[in-house]
Amino acid sequence: MRFNEAYEICLKKAYIHTEKMRGEAYELPACTDGDYYAHPMGLPVGNFWSWTPSFVTGFAPIAYETHHDGKFLKWANSFAGKYRAKVFDTPLKSMHDLGFIYLPYSVALWKLTGDENHRNTAVKAADELVKRFCIKGRYIEAWSEMDNPEKSCRAIVDTMMNLPLLLWAWKETGHTFYYDVATACLDTVLKNYLRDDGSVCHAFIFDDKTGEVKEEANSCGFSNGSHWARGTGWFVYGMSIAYEYTGDKRYLDAAEKAGHKFVECLTEDDKIPVWDFRLPEDKPAHSFRPGGEEAPFWDESKAENKKLNRDASAAAVMVCAFQLLYRQTNDDFYKSSYLELLQTLCDKYLDTDENLPGMIKCTNGRMEYSTYGDYYFMQALARELYGISVCWHD
Give domain limits for the chain: 3-290+307-386
The neighbouring-strand residues paired with 274 are 310
Give the helix ranges, DSSP H, for the chain. Answer: 3-20, 54-67, 70-77, 80-88, 98-102, 108-113, 116-130, 163-173, 176-192, 229-246, 249-264, 312-329, 332-344, 371-386
Per-residue pLDDT band at 295 (split at 50, 70, 90)? very low
pLDDT at 189 over 60: yes
Q: Which residue has the higher pLDDT, 134 or 268?
A: 134
14-43: pLDDT as tens digits: 999 888 887 544 555 655 556 676 655 544
Strand partners, 366: 363
The region of weakest confidence among 130-144, 242-256, 284-298 is 284-298
Is domain 3-290+307-386 classified as CATH 1.50.10.10?
A: yes
262, 55, 126, 220: CA torsion to nearest 10: -40
Q: Do residues 305 and 298 lie in contact, with contact meaning Cβ atoms separated by under 8 Å? A: yes
* Euclidean distance between CA atoms 182 and 32, whole angstroms: 33
The confidence score (pLDDT) of residue 50 equals 74
Average pLDDT of the chain?
Answer: 89
- E strand or H helix at 363, and its extent? none
pLDDT tens column, 43-77: 444 455 578 888 989 999 999 999 999 999 999 99
Q: How far apart are alpha carbons 8 and 360 in whole angstroms?
A: 14
Tell me whether strands 139-140 and 133-134 are parallel, antiparallel or unpaired: antiparallel
State how far the alpha carbon of 382 is from the alpha carbons of 51, 83, 323, 385, in Å: 22, 25, 11, 5
Give the angle 359-346-308 at the CA atoms, nearest 5°: 70
- How many separate helices (H) and strands (E) can be counted in the chain? 14, 5
Residues contacting 265, CB < 8 A, separation 6+ = 227, 229, 273, 277
The predicted pLDDT at position 221 comes to 85
Cα–Cα dist 366/206, whole Å: 31
C-alpha–C-alpha distance, residues 160 and 53, integer Å: 19
**pLDDT of the residue at 244:** 98
Helix/strand/coil percent split, the chain, to 5: 55, 5, 40
More confident residue, 144 or 330: 330
Find all residues with CB under 8 Å of 92, minimum gap 6, and list them.
145, 146, 147
The confidence score (pLDDT) of residue 365 equals 80
CA distances to 26, 212, 231, 317 from 42, rounded to whole Å, are 8, 39, 27, 27
CA atoms of 46 and 94, how far apart (whole Å) = 11
DSSP letter, residue 141: P
**Res. 196 pLDDT band, cuts 50 70 90:** very high
Please check the confidence at residue 302 and state whether its pLDDT lies above 70.
Answer: no
Query: pLDDT, tens digit, for every residue of 126-139?
Result: 999 999 999 999 99
SS3 155: strand
pLDDT digits (tens, 9 = 90+) for 147-182: 877 888 999 999 999 999 999 999 999 999 999 999
- Calculate mean pLDDT across residues 184-211: 96
Q: In angstroms, rounded to a whole number, what is the distance separating the alpha carbons of residues 72 and 62?
A: 9
